[in-house]
Amino acid sequence: MSVFDELVGQAEVVTQLEAAAAAAAAALSGGAGAGMTHAWLFTGPPGSGRSVAARAFAAALQCPDAGCGHCHVCHQTLGGSHPDVAVVVPEGLSLGVAEVRRIVGHAARRPMHDRWQVTIIEDADRMPDYASNALLKAIEEPPPSGVILLCAPGADDVLPTIRSRCRLVPLRTPSPSDVASVLVERDGVDPSMAAFAARAAQGHIGRARRLATDEQSRKERSDVLSLPRHLANVGQALRAASDLVEAAKAEADTLAAGRDTEEREALSTALGGGATGKGYTGSAPKGGAGALKELEKRQKSRGTRTQRDALDRALLDLAAFYRDVLALQLRTGATLVHADLAEQAAVVARGGAAESTLRRIEAVLACRSSLEGNVAPQLAVEAMALALRDG
């Protein structure tokens, strides 16, 4: 057993990180520690396991046995409760400079257990330049026991000054067969369902698990992929676009509802809400209104990000559908991503030319770029739907 067992289809990465963990243990014992460094950049497409690899590496650094996977230290780290491992997950559209400064402060502390003070920053690509510059000093002048692990889709998604000071750990998209094996062996999914989910999720392990185990997720995917059948005229195209945006918003609202309420109640309790007894005035402490406003701001930003993430998943499904159409038109013999929709793809393929399909794929990818540039989702998706209709 090892902390790296959760990494799927990443044998080379596991070898690299195991060697680094061994070097880190040697450094703690007074050895040279060659192969260990203080800053790492984990890159790879969504679902490849960037954050899984970073957390596993953090556990290996803290574990006396370099990541055995069964000791208390490994369980603490992987469970998010180790005092010397901080995990920062940007919940909104970006990671602010104030939060980065708190990260720098944490990284500079001495570890409680005399090993390493590890800071993991997921979605480091969401740091604007001014926040990245605040982090740069901690990477340029690291404390003796500080280790910073950054996660981003690609090396080019972080500042060159940060990238050049990090050791790169590139992950690749796991193969559908690797993902399907995980679903069968770890989650007990039926092999045929696992094969379908693995291919439909395009190697994204978390998405594959949801598709395999959650009927609502499969319905949402089916709704998205019905869009090409509802583009007969401008009115239909605009309605289809509106439905897609509303579905993403509904998904985001569902995910946020319980979490937002819990956060507001926790903040209210921390500020003295519901308190009784001698000395209680019945009003919130000074600064309470500001804290509540800041929480609402963070929740709104997180909701926007969640909606755009849901839309992005839908757009990836659409792009893959038109990729299937193109494969049929060009008779490449390539395996279809959405094999369950082969008949629908064949109908679209017979109704147009490969050039039109390429333009449709470009329209979907352009919509993704617009959303990344903070274009209003409704406008971006409407423009895409009209482009898909026109071909």
pLDDT tens string 190-206: 999 999 999 999 888 88
- Is 34 a residue whose pLDDT tops 90? no
Computed over every residue of the chain, the mean pLDDT equals 85
Q: Where among 170, 204, 233 does a domain terminate?
A: 170
Number of domains the chain is built from: 3
218 and 322 in a single domain? The answer is: yes
Question: Nearest-5° angle of CA 245, CA 44, CA 205?
Answer: 65
The model's confidence at residue 4, banded by pLDDT at 50, 70 and 90, is very high
- Residue % of the chain over a pLDDT of 70: 88
- Flag whether 276 is in a domain: no
Q: Which residues of 127-157 are buried (b: 16+ CB within 10 A; e: fewer)?
A: beeebbebbbebbeebeebbbbbbbbbeeeb
Predicted pLDDT at 295: 66
Which amino acid appears at position 113 of this protein? H
119 and 81 in a single domain? The answer is: yes
112 and 188 in a single domain? The answer is: no
pLDDT tens digit string along 226-245? 999 888 889 999 999 999 89
Predicted pLDDT at 280: 45
158 and 179 in a single domain? The answer is: no
Q: Which residues of 294-303 are buried (b: 16+ CB within 10 A; e: fewer)?
A: ebeeebebbb
Predicted pLDDT at 130: 80
pLDDT tens digit string along 216-226? 889 989 989 99
**Residue 107 in tokens:** 């990284």
User: Higher-confidence residue: 237 or 297?
Assistant: 237
- Is 276 a residue whose pLDDT tops 70? no
- Is 341 a residue whose pLDDT tops 90? yes
What does the pLDDT average to over 53-82? 91
138 and 240 in a single domain? The answer is: no
31 and 180 in a single domain? The answer is: no
Instruction: Report the length, in residues, of the chain.
Output: 391
311 and 361 in a single domain? The answer is: yes
The model's confidence at residue 17, banded by pLDDT at 50, 70 and 90, is very high
Q: 247 is in which domain, residue-wise?
A: 214-260+295-391
Q: Where among 150, 170, 190 does a domain terminate?
A: 170
Predicted pLDDT at 32: 61
Q: Where among 144, 170, 196 does a domain terminate?
A: 170
328 and 204 in a single domain? The answer is: no
162 and 230 in a single domain? The answer is: no
- Flag whether 23 is in a domain: yes
- Flag whether 350 is in a domain: yes
Residue 39 near residue 167, CB atoms below 8 Å? yes
374 and 352 in a single domain? The answer is: yes
- pTM, whole model, 2 decimals? 0.77
Instruction: Give the residue carrying structure tokens 């940007």.
Output: 90
**Residue 43 in tokens:** 């890159």
Return the CATH number at 12. Answer: 3.40.50.300
What does the pLDDT average to over 240-266? 78
118 and 250 in a single domain? The answer is: no
- Flag whether 270 is in a domain: no
Task: Give the contacts of 367 (CB within 8 A, at least 6 positions apart).
Answer: 315, 380, 381, 383, 384
- Flag whether 31 is in a domain: yes
227 and 362 in a single domain? The answer is: yes
Predicted pLDDT at 282: 46
- Flag whether 273 is in a domain: no
- Flag whether 7 is in a domain: yes
